[in-house]
A = this chain, B = another copy of it.
Amino acid sequence: MTLMEFSIMPLDKGVSLSEHVAKAMTIIDESGLDYRLNPMGTVVEGEWDELLGLLTRCFRTLEESSDRINIQVKFDYRKGVSGAMKNKIKSVEEKAGRRLKI
């Protein structure tokens, strides 16, 4: 399984980007993949092809109304591991010996 975090920003729409982010979030929310939105991006868990398919659908949607788009993506692939979305945080809390803000 792979965790993918990404953010997608049109650069020709001024500083208020939430309307455009909302279009991508609707696609993600309806994808059926597990995800978490954070203030700087969205983390999605899935197989490589599912994740790249989702990224492509978000890009294609914003491409319809934007002439310049910046996308930032990070992947964390772990062979044979699933549930990393929750387990990575739990593991860090255990090692830190404290509850952290999530």
Contact = CB atoms under 8 A, between A and B. Distances in A.
B67 A56 contact: no
Contacts of A41: 5, 40, 74
Interface in A17-61: 17-19, 21-23, 25-26, 29, 34-41, 43, 48-49, 52, 55-56, 59
As for how many copies of this chain the complex holds, the number is 4
A100 B41 CA distance: 13
A78 B89 contact: no
Nearest to A69: B77
A48 B59 contact: yes
Contacts of A14: 11-12
Given A71-B77, A77-B59, A95 B18 contact: yes
